[in-house]
Each structure stands twice: as structure tokens, then as C-alpha cells.
Amino acid sequence: MSNRDKVLASAVDAIGHTPLVRLDRITASLGLEGTILAKLDYLNPGGSKKDRAARGIIEEAEASGLLKPGQSVVELTSGNMGAPTVYLLLTLGTGLAIICGIRGYPFIAVMSRGNSPERARMMAALGAEVVLVDQLSGSVPGQVSGGDLALVEDKAKEITEARGAFRADQFARDGNWRSHYNGTARELWEQTDGRLDGFVDFAGSGGTFAGVSRALKELNPEAKCFVVEPEGAAVLAGQTVSNPDHPIQGGGYSMPDLAFLKGLQADGYIQVTGDEARQAARMLATKEGIFGGFSSGANLAAAIKVLQGEMKGKTVAMVVCDSGLKYLSTDLWAEL
């Protein structure tokens, strides 16, 4: 019996143990040989796979003594529809707000005034103290620039020092990748009864890929794990950035030195265009009833590519990272 079958003590305990679904209608419609399995992490309490990282970071800090009872937690939760890096920070912030609220840590969400009011209201509704930082002179309301984000970062550092707070940082805290090593990967293995040949993942912080690939290769040394990136921004594959304004939020933002990927050897690097991710996300919704976002579409597009190539006839897993509800105002759905 999984956690999802029991009465849980809190929403924190509902993080993880998400369903795994066969995408047989998609593979059949495309004439593919093999199986694609989708891990529905958009069903986590905060609506994304980042709930796992948030929980992992907090629990690791508790265990190590870095986070004391009642201590404040600080993190940037800025994000706008055109900035993949800060989008990651927004989704992590939702999970942090949930976990900190339940466990009694004051959570301070530092945001730019360039974010929509709905984002600040969401964080406040989850119990966070929201600190809004003015944009640079000349910045466009509703669009958080790199300069705006730098101001938010400075403010977050200031608050962390002034309040003796713990700074959650998904790019540096090992609790991120370990949450997938101990959670996501083990769940995939158990749900497939060990019959899993590969994994594809759109790299953001690198935590999901690092955790799952490490564990999966320990369980099955023959398993193949592929890093997915936007075409024109595939820096992890060693390519020059030619399209920094790609629409696939959550990754591909010119960070070739992701800490969690150091020393890891991917079995391949797959590039996906914005249109491929968009069409795959729409296919996921219409054929399988799974309403995912841009990165989920990128994962599906990549899984299709590997089944058309070296993984033909194999079973490949992917994560549905978050819900398509977050993208209703973008061109992912706006044209429909």
C-alpha cells in the first residue's frame, strides 16, 4: 500500500508516490514500437515535481542542523512567462511555502514587482511573507529582466543575513537530487517491477536527471538516460546558444556547469524545438487526458524520438513536471 492509499498526517506526506501511466494511445497513433510511461508529478500538492526538491532540501537541512526549529527560510520566488530560470524559482517556492507552513518555519518569498499580482497572492495564501522588490528604471511591468532578478537576489541575501535565515537553493542543495534518487527513481522501479529500460528528462536544475539516472543505473546498468534541452540552447550538450528566447520554460538558460551533473555521463543529449514541445503537450492532453506544461511536452517529444531511434521496442519513462494550467495565457494553449 502506497502513501496515497492511506490517511496522511499532512500535505507534505502527499508529496511523491505519484501515478505512472502508459501512453499507449500516443505510441499507437504514431506507430511506435515500445512503451512510454509518464510519471504524473503535477499531482503533487504544489502542482509540480519541485515539491520533491523543496521537501528534500528542507529535510536535509533539518537533519544536518542547518535549519533550526522556528528558523526562517528565504528563497526567490520570482518568475515570468518568458524567463526559464526564474520560472524554476517560482515552482520551488510553492513547495517551500507548503512545507514551511506545515512544519512551522516562517517562509519569506522575495519577488519582483514585475511579477503578476496573482503570484504574490498565491504565495501569501500559502502563508508566506512576501517581500516585493521594485524593478529597475525602464523595466517593463509583467516582465522580470535579468537586472530585476539581480535586485531580488540582493534583497534575498540581505534578508537571509539580517534574519539569520536558511537560504534554500535548489541549484546547490543536495536534497534536490537526493529526493529523486530516493523517491522518483525508486518509485519508477517499483511501479514497473524493474522493467524499465530508459529515462528522458528536460534539465532544469539537473536534480531530477541526476537523482533518477544515478539510481536507475545502479538498479539496471544497461538503462539509458537522456538529457533533454531546447534546440538552440543545448549548452549541456556543448552547443553554442543560438536561441536563448526559446519558449520551453524550466531549462535551457545557458548554465553549462550544473553542479548535480558533474561527474555524470548521460547516454545521449536530445534537442527539442519549442514547436515540438508544444505539439507534444497538446497530444498528451488530447490523446491521454494529461494536462501538462511545456517541459512535459519536451519530455514527451524526446521520448518519442528515442523510441524512433536507439530505444525502439524498449520501455522509457518521463516526468509530467507540472500542470498546463500555469500556461493558459501562453501560446501553448492560447491559440486553441
Residues 300, 36: contact at Cβ < 8 Å?
yes
State the distance between the two ends of the chain, measured CA to CA, in whole angstroms: 40
The mean per-residue pLDDT over the stretch 158-169 comes to 96
Query: Does residue 234 carry a pLDDT above 80?
Result: yes
Domains 3-48+176-327 and 72-164 share a fold: yes
Annotation marks residue 314 as catalytic: no
Cell of 203: 534539465
- Position 253 scores a pLDDT of 58
Query: Does residue 280 carry a pLDDT above 70?
Result: yes
Residue 226, Cα to own-chain centre: how many angstroms? Answer: 16
pLDDT tens digits, one per residue of 197-233? 999 999 988 999 999 999 999 999 999 999 999 998 8
- Position 159 scores a pLDDT of 97
- Position 298 scores a pLDDT of 95
**Strand partners of residue 39:** 20, 319
Domain covering 72-164 in this structure, CATH number: 3.40.50.1100
Confidence of residue 86 (pLDDT cuts 50, 70, 90): very low
Pick the CATH number of 3-48+176-327 from 3.40.50.920, 3.10.25.10, 3.40.50.1220, 3.40.50.1100: 3.40.50.1100
Which residues fall within 8 angstroms of residue 303, CB to CB, at 6 or more apart? 36, 200, 316, 318
Transcribe 142-188 into DSSP letters: T---HHHHHHHHHHHHHHHHHHT-EE--TTT-THHHHHIIIIIHHHH
Query: Does residue 82 carry a pLDDT above 60?
Result: no
**Stated pTM of the model:** 0.91
Annotation marks residue 145 as catalytic: no
Residue in 30, 127, 36, 130 with CA at minimum distance from that of residue 76: 130
Query: Which residue among the candidates 39, 49, 50, 314 is catalytic per the annotation?
Result: 50
Residues 36, 29: contact at Cβ < 8 Å?
no
DSSP assigned state of 71: -
- Position 193 scores a pLDDT of 98
Query: Which residue among the candidates 72, 179, 295, 323 is catalytic per the annotation?
Result: 295
CA-angle at 216, arms to 211 and 218, nearest 5°? 105
User: Where do the domains of the chain lie?
Assistant: 3-48+176-327, 72-164
d(CA 4, CA 56): 19
Q: What percent of the chain has pLDDT over 90?
A: 66
